[in-house]
């Protein structure tokens, strides 16, 4: 395993949680394994480890992009990551609301629905995500 891929998996686990990463890696098939390796090496090991932005800021930027791209399933995982990185529910809400202006109301509505599901689960079982 390359250093950036190994470091990426470590950061991915810190942000997303072991259960999330174990599930993603455990569900990988021969076909999808290269994508998991790519994500660990380039997203988590090449971008999330850089200086210049703290993890909280990276989480909020990621939520913005996923909202704009209308990726509610990916957004759910990154709402968990944002909470793990110390973002408040208010900061998440304001980020998604801000996206309504720049990415469009339908995208923000999908994002709010996805985020609400994760926030409610987090409130019921803090520390278990």
Q: Are residues 121 and 63 in the same domain?
A: yes
Q: Are residues 12 and 57 in the same domain?
A: no
Q: Are residues 63 and 99 in the same domain?
A: yes
Q: Which domain holds residue 38?
A: 1-50
Predicted structure pTM score:
0.89
Three-class DSSP labels, the chain = CCHHHHHHHHHHHHHHCHHHHHHHHHCCCCCCHHHHHHHHHHHHCCCCCCCCCCHHHHHHHHHHHHHHCCCHHHHHHHHHHHHHCCCCHHHHHHHHHHHHHHHCHHHHHHHHHHHHHHHHHHHHCCCCC
* pLDDT digit string (tens) for the chain, length 129 residues: 567 778 999 999 999 999 999 999 999 999 999 999 999 999 999 999 999 999 999 999 999 999 999 999 999 999 999 999 999 999 999 999 999 999 999 999 999 999 999 999 999 986 555
Q: Are residues 25 and 88 in the same domain?
A: no
Q: Are residues 58 and 35 in the same domain?
A: no
- Number of structural domains found in the chain: 2
């Amino acid at each position: 395993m390359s250093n950036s891929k190994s470091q990426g998996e470590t950061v991915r686990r810190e942000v997303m949680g072991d259960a999330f990463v174990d599930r993603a890696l455990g569900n990988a098939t021969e076909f999808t394994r290269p994508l998991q390796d790519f994500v660990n090496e380039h997203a988590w090991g090449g971008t999330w480890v850089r200086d210049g932005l703290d993890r909280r800021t990276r989480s909020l930027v990621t939520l913005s992009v996923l909202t704009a791209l209308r990726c509610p399933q990916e957004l759910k995982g990154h709402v968990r990551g944002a909470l793990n990185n110390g973002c408040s529910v208010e900061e998440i809400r304001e980020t998604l609301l801000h996206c309504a202006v720049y990415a469009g109301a339908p995208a923000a509505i999908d994002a709010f629905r996805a985020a609400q599901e994760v926030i409610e689960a987090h409130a019921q079982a803090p520390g278990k995500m």
